[in-house]
Amino acid sequence: MYVHDFTYSHRSVKTRQSQAGKVLKKRNDIRKKSVPRTLQGRNGHVRKKSRNAAEAEEIVLAIRRGGIDALVMEGANGEKVVTLQGTEHPYRVLVESINDGAATLDADGVVLYANSRFAQILNIPHGKLTGTSLHNNLSPDQREQLKKLIRQALHRSSTVEIALDATEGRPKLVRFSMRPLKDADIHKVGVVATELTELVEANQALKSNEESLRQLSARLLQLQDEERRHIARDLHDVTGQKLAVQSMALAGVLSRNSGNLDPDSHRALSESLEWNKEVAAEIRTLSYLLHPPLLDELGLSSAVRWYIAGFTNRTGIAVETDIPHDLQRLSPDAEVAIFRVLQESLTNVHRYAESSKACIRMKATANEIKIEIEDFGKGIKTSKLNSKNVPEVRLGVGIQGMTERMRQLGGKLEITSHPNHGTLVAATMPLSGAQAFLPAQTSSGLMPSSSPVGAELPGLLGGTVKKRILIADDHEMLRRGVRNTLQTELDLEICGEAVDGQDVVEKVKTLQPDLVILDINMPVLNGLVAVRQILRYRPQTKVLVFSVHDSDQTIQEVHAAGAHGFISKGKDAQDLLRVVRDLLSANGLPATAPGAVAD
CA atoms within 13 A on the CB side of 432: 5
Report whether 581 contacts 598 (CB < 8 A): no
User: Per-residue confidence at 334, pLDDT binned at 50, 70, 90?
Assistant: confident
Mean pLDDT for the stretch of residues 398-413: 83
Per DSSP bridges, beta strands 542-547 and 565-568 are parallel
Distance CA 541, CA 526 (A): 18
* CATH 3.30.70.1560 for domain 293-440: no
For the chain, the first-to-last Cα distance in angstroms comes to 120
More confident residue, 382 or 242: 242
Domain limits of the chain? Answer: 2-83, 89-195, 210-291, 293-440, 459-598
Per DSSP bridges, beta strands 172-180 and 158-164 are antiparallel
DSSP per-residue string spanning 54-101: HHHHHHHHHHHTT-EEEEEEEETTEEEEEEPTTSSHHHHHHHHHSSSE
Q: Which of 116-130, 311-325, 422-436 has the highest mean pLDDT?
A: 311-325
> What is the amino acid identity at position 153?
A
More confident residue, 149 or 25: 149
> What is the amino acid identity at position 10?
H
Q: What is the chain's mean pLDDT, rounded?
A: 75
429: nearest Cα among 365, 373, 385: 365
Global pTM?
A: 0.53
Domain 459-598 in this protein, CATH class: alpha beta
* CATH 3.40.710.10 for domain 89-195: no
User: Per-residue confidence at 22, pLDDT binned at 50, 70, 90?
Assistant: very low
Report whether 5 contacts 31 (CB < 8 A): yes
pLDDT at 320 over 90: yes
476-to-283, 465, 471, 482 alpha-carbon distances in Å:
20, 28, 10, 10
pLDDT at 506 over 90: yes
Lowest mean per-residue pLDDT among 58-67, 244-253, 342-351, 441-450: 441-450
pLDDT at 33 over 50: no
Express each pLDDT in 548-565 by its tens digit: 777 777 888 888 889 999
User: Per-residue confidence at 172, pLDDT binned at 50, 70, 90?
Assistant: confident
pLDDT at 318 over 70: yes
Distance CA 182, CA 273 (A): 97
Q: Which spans in 235-363 are helix H?
A: 241-256, 263-290, 293-297, 300-315, 332-348
Q: Under DSSP, is residue 275 helix (H, G, I), strand (E, B) or coil?
A: helix
Give residue 332's pLDDT: 84
Express each pLDDT in 110-140 by its tens digit: 888 888 888 888 888 887 888 888 877 777 7
In sequence order, what are the beta bridge partners of 470? 496, 516
